[in-house]
Structure 1
Amino acid sequence: MRPRYLLAAFVAGLALSALSIRAEAAVFDPETATLSNGMEVVVVSKRSAPVITHMVWYKVGAMDEPQGKSGLAHFLEHLMFKGTENIPSGQFSEIVAKNGGQDNAFTSSDYTAYYQAIAADRLELVMKLESDRMRNLKLDPEEIETERQVILEERRSRTENRPGARLAEQADAAFYLNHPYGRPIIGWAHEIRGLTPQDIIDFYDRWYAPNNAVLVVVGDVAMADVLPLAEKYYGSLPVRDVPKPIDWREPPHQAEGTVVLRDRDVTQPSWSKRYLAPSYLYGATEHAYPLQVLVEVLSGGTTSRLYSSLVVEDKVAASAGAWYSADSRGPSTLGFYVSPAPGKTLDEASAAMEATVSDIIRDGVTEDEVQRAIIRLTDAAELAKDSFQGIARTLGAAVTIGRTAEDVEAWPERIAAVTVDQVNQAMRFVLQEKGALVSKLLPANAPTQEAQANGKGKS
């Protein structure tokens, strides 16, 4: 047995050596600045191709909507592609396309972002377009009604017609006791129908301002190229009085819950269990980095704890894993999911998951598992350097929620410093039985637990 221990120690030593090398290297080497009106600017120079990704992030998302007006942030995102005082309706994307670019946008609970991928020599063009709609949007009542139907159809196709999406929406609403993360980003259908043109105008005027925005440019440029243009187009926009976001707090979760959705379109049942968890900015933030390492140990590929145990060895599951993200203004969740293998029931698969997680909580993860997880995570950070849009999204999301570009650059070093004791402490801090929510997705004809107990399940 001794040679095996020596080999393990040697491998661990190599791992630590590799991590120390990676920790010294910067991730994206961003340059940062602030315009005269308070708009933040982040630039990453990547000379591998003569193109750029240009993104504008607003520090407002679905969590900032007034009560009873869910979907407002997403509705405005759609309308931002309509006309301004200077650009006719529908021409924004057409102009970008005619110049060889692509554009789109997205809304989350925490922020809203708009981006263009285009040739580097078109930077001034997209700045001119984007800065124009930051303050000069024209909201035509007829176009609002047309877009309302588009959004309702989007909700039907992406949520209402997909059992898994419906269950996720119901689970979010059941999980959060007070925080607006329980509201769907796209909005509840009845509230989308009730949003008025004035609601949208007020939301736009309240939040869309240069001092509530972040500009990120990645590609064949440097800050020296970007800053003069940014001052010309964005810096000339007036500062607005932006309200301070509500500091939403989630009360302690004390009761367990279960959400079950049955649907005839379900062919593969699934089970998940989620726990309230801290993020980079909320709660016991010292656990954020260890939790990222924990989830990599549990769910990072086919050799991870959950997959190797439940799918490969026991063959009770077709899929199994865990999730966690620290990038949020509010609380996060840590959860587990499993689907049964052919010939196995969901109860068998979920029981095996529960038993496996209980064993891990009791015994803890190992030093070797933690070091291997750190290597995989830092390797992924290296690969992320090749994606212009990935870089822009990573930095933009961080700065917009209140972190810094320096936090992003320090991520490999902070991950590399995580210890096995910190991982086990974070795991045991979060994975307490009280307050967890179980979600089950079942076929419409799946027997209830009561029917199974009485021997009335389908044979």
Structure 2
Amino acid sequence: MKKSLIALSSMLMLGGTAHAQKVAFEEYDLANGLHVILHNDSSAPVVITSVMYHVGAKDEQPDRTGFAHFFEHLLFEGTENIKRGEWFKIVTSNGGVNNANTTEDRTYYYEVFPSNNLELGLWMESERMLHPVINQIGVDTQNEVVKEEKRLRYDNSPYGQLIPQVKKYMFTKHPYRWTTIGSMEHLDAAKLEEFQAFNKKFYIPNNAVLIVAGDINNPTQTKQWIEKYFGSIPKGPAIVRQTFVEDPITQPINATFEDSNIQKPMVVAAYRTPSMKTRDARVLDFISTYLSDGKSSKLYKKIVDDKKMALQIGAFSYNQEDYGTYILYGMPQGEFTSKDLVKEIDEEIVKLQTDLISENDLQKLKNKYENQYVSGNSSVEGIADNLASYYLLYGDVNLINTEIEMYNSITREEIRTVAKKYLNPNQRLLLDYVPAKDKAENK
């Protein structure tokens, strides 16, 4: 009884926190098509100015991969009014921080300043959009930076090729088949005019959303600054995107990859899943958490703790705008093999497909996702990122407040149905990710 009361108390507190965290925002469009979203939060004297462009690795040509990620670096090189090498100096000297990141679907830039420097942040992002300097010096410099990043994150990192290898087999038609960092050979072969054309096509106001979040002292003044700095930027031609439809996976895919950076083998099971915008994708998130989120999860407790068959076990949903991938992985130990782990994993999946999970387990999942919802909206940086993503990728800004309702409405029956629909042996890749033979022989 005492445990029940404590659990009930925790749920009420969490629910109250989630409700209190409802994000208020205002949105409108400039004449050039730039979508603007404002979120006022005066709890701290900071403000974030961010721009998300609807361009990612999937918008590249097969022989020119890596452009979107390259631009994440290139557009810090400087503008007509910000000299080369001065961008970061301006930010830090005014008490700010900034960064950028790229996915298959979008590119995101942001600055966080003390709120009295809001105008500076808006000016800098408008400079990036209107006046970027894209010259050979910048391209050559960032080419070396990207090459070093690829060496660190992919080429010389243990298990760094896991996602690239999975993508290669999951997608044969869609641009998701290549990595965001792309091919160094493609970047080396590209001419300056190609980079300039890529910028002209995608980094335009009608392919972007501007977020101002935080301590907006004067909303009227903020709107005037936005119009002043962004309103005159020319609207670009509408971007026509090709639709890529993958054939269903109906036969098991078996593959092996040798990695010279590892000593322990890993087995990977991957399933192609629907767009992150779908309800099924949210149900798969629940399934991933149920199976492998934390040491109390089904797979970890069974395979690592109880049977001691693996050093590590895990699962995650790799969610994207057009398709997703559900990835399970495990590292066998002792006398156990990858086949042993797959057998144990499949047994748990069959249970999901056959039986309903307990009401208690379902409530635990809902509690975790409410907690994630609160955490995701606990900072202006998180709110700004969420506002931009929900507008640009999901087409509904208010999901920042309502998506949690979708998770809370997921039923045990849905979990069983979705597991049956997507997690079948004939619909997956089984990848043996093993040490390179020469390394294993020299061990």
TM-score (normalised: structure 1): 0.88
Once the two structures are superposed, the pairs formed by residues 60-209 of structure 1 within 5 Å of their partners are 60-209=55-204
Distance across 2 between alignment mates of 1:11 and 1:428: 35
Q: Report the counterpart of residue 399 of structure 1 in structure 2.
A: 391
- Counterpart check, 1:278 vs 2:274: yes
- Alignment match of 2:285 (pick from 280, 285, 292): 292
* Percent of residue pairs bearing the same amino acid type: 28
Aligned to 2:315: 322
- Which residue matches 1:237? 233
**Equivalent position of 2:406 in the other structure:** 414
CA contact (8 A) 2:18 2:374 kept: no
- AA in 1 matched with 2:406: R
Question: Contact 1:318 / 1:342 at 8 angstroms: preserved in 2?
Answer: no
Matched residue of 1:165: which SS? coil
Q: Which secondary structure does the structure 1 equivalent of 2:225 belong to?
A: helix
Aligned-partner Cα distance in 1 for 2:231–2:22: 28
2:228 is equivalent to residue 249 of structure 1: no
Q: What is the CA-CA distance between 1:458 and the residue it aligns to?
A: 12
Partner of residue 30 from structure 2, selected from 35, 51, 55: 35
Deviation at 1:89, TM superposition (A): 1.1
Q: Distance in 2 between matches of 1:43 and 1:212?
A: 18
Which stretch has the larger CA shift, 256-265 or 268-277?
A: 256-265
CA-to-aligned-CA distance 1:376-420 (integer Å, 9 cap, x gap): 110221122322222222222222214221122101211111111
1:369 aligns with 2:361: yes
- 2:208 corresponds to: 213
Question: Do 1:15 and 1:371's aligned partners in 2 also have CA atoms closer than 8 Å?
Answer: no
Query: Per-residue deviation at 1:173?
Result: 1.3
In 2, Cα distance between the equivalents of 1:358 and 1:387?
Answer: 40
The amino acid that maps onto 1:236 is S
| Count of residue pairs the alignment pairs up | 442
Match of 1:261 in 2: 257
> Which segment drifts farther, 7-16 or 380-389?
7-16
Name the amino acid aligned to 1:166.
Q
Deviations 1:52-91 (A, max 9, x none): 2221110111101123110111222221111222121121
Q: Residues 75, 116 of structure 1: CA spacing in aligned structure 2 closer, same or farther, 3 A cutoff?
A: same
For normalisation by structure 2, the TM-score amounts to 0.91
Instruction: Report the residue type matching 1:68 in the other structure.
Output: D
Show structure 1 runs of 5+ residues with no match.
1-5, 449-456
Partner Cα separation in structure 1 for residue 3 and residue 280 of structure 2: 27
The worse-fitting range, judged by mean Cα deviation, of 64-73 and 252-261 is: 252-261
SS of residue in 1 equivalent to 2:272: strand
Residues 279, 325 of structure 1: 8 Å contact kept: no
User: 5+ residue gaps in structure 2?
Assistant: none
Task: Tell me how far 1:270 sits from its aligned partner.
Answer: 1.6
Q: Is the 8 A contact 2:47 2:112 kept in 1?
A: yes
In 2, the alpha carbon distance for the partners of 1:77 and 1:341 equals 40
The 8 Å contact of residues 58 and 208 in structure 1, kept in 2 or not, is answered as yes
TM-aligned CA distance change 1:190 to 1:147, over 3 Å: same
Deviation at residue 350 of structure 1 after TM alignment: 3.2
Change (3 A) 1:20 1:62: same
- 1:48 to 1:342, Cα distance in 2 relative to 1, 3 A: farther
Summarize the alignment of residues 331-346 of structure 1 with structure 2, pairs less than 5 Å apart. Answer: 331-341=323-333, 344-346=336-338
Q: CA deviation at 1:42?
A: 1.9
* Contact 1:273–1:335, Cα closer than 8 Å, also in 2: yes
Residue 377 of structure 2 is matched in structure 1 by 385
Counterpart CA distance in 1 for 2:284 and 2:97 is 36
Bigger shift: residues 439-448 or 301-310: 439-448
- Deviates most, 131-140 or 24-33: 24-33
Q: Distance in 2 between matches of 1:22 and 1:117?
A: 25
Distance 1:91 1:360 in 2: 55
Take 1:41 and 1:113, find their aligned partners in 2: how far apart are those partners? 15
SS at match of 2:424: coil
Partner-residue secondary structure (3-state), 2:256: strand
| Equivalence for 1:439 | 431
1:87 alignment partner, SS class:
coil
Residue type at the aligned position of 1:426: V
> How far 1:94 sits from its partner (Å)?
1.3
Contact 2:166–2:270 under 8 Å retained in 1 = no
Greater mean alpha carbon deviation, residues 6-15 or residues 240-249 = 6-15
Do structure 1's residue 310 and structure 2's residue 303 form an aligned pair? yes
* Deviates most, 114-123 or 33-42: 33-42
Q: CA deviation at 1:225?
A: 5.0
Residues of 2 paired with 1:446 and 1:434: CA distance? Answer: 33
Report SS of the residue matched to 2:398: helix
Contact kept? 2:390, 2:398, Cα under 8 Å:
no
Distance 1:124 1:16 in 2: 42
- How far apart, in 2, do the equivalents of 1:446 and 1:10 lie? 59
Are the counterparts in 1 of residues 250 and 426 from structure 2 also a CA contact under 8 Å?
yes
What code does the residue aligned with 2:234 have?
P
Assess if the C-alpha contact under 8 Å between 2:354 and 2:416 holds in 1.
Answer: no
> Quick one: distance in 2 between partners of 1:298 and 1:15?
23
Tell me the secondary structure at the aligned position of residue 412 of structure 1. helix
What is the DSSP-based 3-state SS (H/G/I as helix, E as strand, rest coil) of the residue aligned with 1:121? helix
Change (3 A) 1:419 1:21: farther
